[in-house]
């Protein structure tokens, strides 16, 4: 079976003490996950939370973003080297909020993927369509363009380290959720696209997460779909009980 992953993206939430308490509560509630549990807190908390996570099997630390350059005069930015040095194993790249609010383009995201892999970390690469694209039924082509522009330059050995997260933009923070069948349809389309580029063996081994308002109530239904390999969780990752329930919904 493919690697199952539930990743919690805290975004710009929680002060340090709240983040530490949340992490403690998650560790208490999640005893033996059937897949990987990834936590992506704000930058200032990475070192402290990383110390807590590394003592538990299956728990991993992620950053919410990184800069595409190795170093330099980029005030306020954080490099992949810096993230690796504090214990990050994953980096979220191309989240819809980064694309929307910070105008990150596919070429920039490709550079971020490259530098993340070069520093020994795994990209969680986000892709997904806005509502108007979904409504005119061009969502598969839209997402295919994102993947081709930002991932398909990779050699097979590097692509194997990538985690893909499909996040329908119209279902993020809106309370709307793609149905399990809609999620499956898109995840399958992504897997077919990967197979055309890298072959069926690579495609069948690539984790594809769902990232659109997944919560404790719908996680089991979403994760039951054959091509859905877990979730990239936003708001529900800020409550230990909800996040633990989502982790428990991973395929055994």
Q: Which residues are designated catalytic? A: 95, 167
Q: How far apart are the first and last CA of the chain?
A: 9
141-157 per-residue burial string, b: 16 or more CB within 10 A, e: under 16: eebbebbeebbeebeee
Q: CA 183 to CA 194: how far, in whole Å?
A: 17
Q: CA 143 to CA 134: how far, in whole Å?
A: 11
Query: What DSSP assignment string belongs to 173-201?
Result: SSS----HHHHHHHHHHHHHHHHHHH-HH
Residue 43's Cβ-count burial label (10 Å; 0-12, 13-18, 19+) is: middle
Contact residues for 111 (Cβ-Cβ < 8 A; gap 6+) = 68, 69
**DSSP 3-state percent helix, strand, coil across the chain (nearest 5):** 45, 15, 40
């Amino acid at each position: 079976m493919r690697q199952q992953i539930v990743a919690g993206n805290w975004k710009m939430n929680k002060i340090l003490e709240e983040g530490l308490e949340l992490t403690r509560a998650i560790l208490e509630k999640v005893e033996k996950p059937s897949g990987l549990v990834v936590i992506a807190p704000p930058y200032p908390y990475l070192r402290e939370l990383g110390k807590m996570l590394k003592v538990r099997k299956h728990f991993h630390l992620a950053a919410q973003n990184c800069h595409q350059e190795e170093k330099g005069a980029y005030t306020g930015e954080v490099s992949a080297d810096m993230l690796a040095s504090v214990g990050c194993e994953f980096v979220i790249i191309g989240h819809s909020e980064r694309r929307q609010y910070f105008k990150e383009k596919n070429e920039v995201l490709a550079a971020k993927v490259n530098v993340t892999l070069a520093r020994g970390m795994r990209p969680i690469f986000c892709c997904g369509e806005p509502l108007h694209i979904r409504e005119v039924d061009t969502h598969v082509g839209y997402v295919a363009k994102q993947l081709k522009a930002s991932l398909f330059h990779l050699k097979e050995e590097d692509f194997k380290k990538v985690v893909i997260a499909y996040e329908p933009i119209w279902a993020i923070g809106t309370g709307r959720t793609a149905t399990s069948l809609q999620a499956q349809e898109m995840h399958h389309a992504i897997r077919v696209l990967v197979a055309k580029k890298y072959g069926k063996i690579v495609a069948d081994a690539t984790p594809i997460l769902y990232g659109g308002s997944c919560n404790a109530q719908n996680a089991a239904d979403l994760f039951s779909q054959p091509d859905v390999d877990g979730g990239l969780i936003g708001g529900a990752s800020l409550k230990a009980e909800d996040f633990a329930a989502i982790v428990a919904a991973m395929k055994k």
